[in-house]
Amino acid sequence: MTASLARDSASGATTARTRAQAKVNLSLRVLAREASGYHQIETLFCRLELGDDVVVRTNVRGRSLDCTGDAIPAAGLGPIERNLAWRAALAYANATGWPNEWSIELVKHVPVGGGLGGGSADAGAVLRCLNALSPAPLSVPDLLGLAAPLGADVPFLTMDTPLAAAWGRGERMLALPCLPGRSVTLACFPFGIATPDAYRWLDEARASDAPVATALDVHQLTTWTGVAALAHNDFEIVVASRFPQVAETLASWRAAIVRRRDPLAFAMLAGSGSTVFALGDDHLPAPDPGGQKPVRTVATRTATRVVGVDVSG
């Protein structure tokens, strides 16, 4: 990766574009809370084909971030200094002294606040784009070192692998062989869940219970049979108990999977929520809203590759 980026940057390119692919956690266990307040995790990350469009330019005056797209909530994305794509560009510039000026354009397709890692994917895409344009590209470990403080999902979404096991704060990873693509149906609710809230609910629920110890066989992570047997999300019980639509969608889709007799299909909460996803041979129909607001469904697939960075003058 580093050698190819160096060749690209030597061409004098000033524009880079890529797709910031979303992710789901095919397994997610939340472990001990550190004295710092951060939690250790064990997870299996999987990229999706769904993603945001990202363009980074360095032949500009000043610094800017422009966000458009059908996934931007009515309330907007909040202050620019909290945007992960912006923070990624700042981290790269502060660490390397380059670039002084840039523009970032995001076209958002990944639902915001749904546990799909859209903001983290944008950050990873910006880091990859800047490294492709840089006159002195960083090594992969150094690039991941910039990604880690931005969030637990960002290192994976900066890597060139569609599937990885991760632990610690998400910064320790094992890239895994790519699995065949499968259909993924997303149920996207008209509300998001703040990740700190989800961790707080889980801490409160575990006031007297320590997480159960477990041991993983790495071979289980290399087949869909093994992954389906491990599919679990610690956040699911605390999120579903607070949001009836999440609980009802999980129940509805799991019943549909049983009827279809697909032994490798499963439905889970995505990350810390609120999105629910179903993975299987075919897409599932939209869940019945039951008198509530209709749930937006999105059809995508698990990714078999990471979209590369295209550079131009």
Give the confidence band of 211 by pLDDT, cuts at 50, 70, 90. low
Catalytic residue among 23, 53, 108, 234: 23
Residues 289 and 252 in one domain: yes
Instruction: Decide: pTM greater than 0.85.
Output: yes
Report how many domains make up the chain.
Answer: 2
Can you count the helices (H) and strands (E) in the chain? Answer: 8, 12
Tokens in use for 107?
């076209």
The 10s digit of each residue's pLDDT in 142-195 is 999 999 999 999 999 999 999 999 999 888 999 999 999 999 999 999 888 999
Torsion 82-47-157-165 (CA) sign:
positive
**How many C-alpha atoms does 22 have within 13 Å on its Cβ side?**
29
**209-236 mean pLDDT:** 84
Residues 198 and 143 in one domain: no
Within a domain: 18:
yes
Residues 188 and 164 in one domain: no
Residues 41 and 136 in one domain: yes
The verdict on whether 23 is a catalytic residue reads: yes
Within a domain: 92:
yes
Catalytic residue among 8, 53, 122, 153: 153
Whether 78 shows a pLDDT value over 90: the answer reads: no
CATH number of 189's domain: 3.30.70.890
Residues 262 and 198 in one domain: yes
The verdict on whether 209 is a catalytic residue reads: no
Residues 105 and 254 in one domain: no
Torsion 186-188-194-196 (CA) sign:
negative
**What is the structure's pLDDT at 310?**
97
**What is the structure's pLDDT at 4?**
35
Range of the domain at 226: 183-301
Within a domain: 309:
no
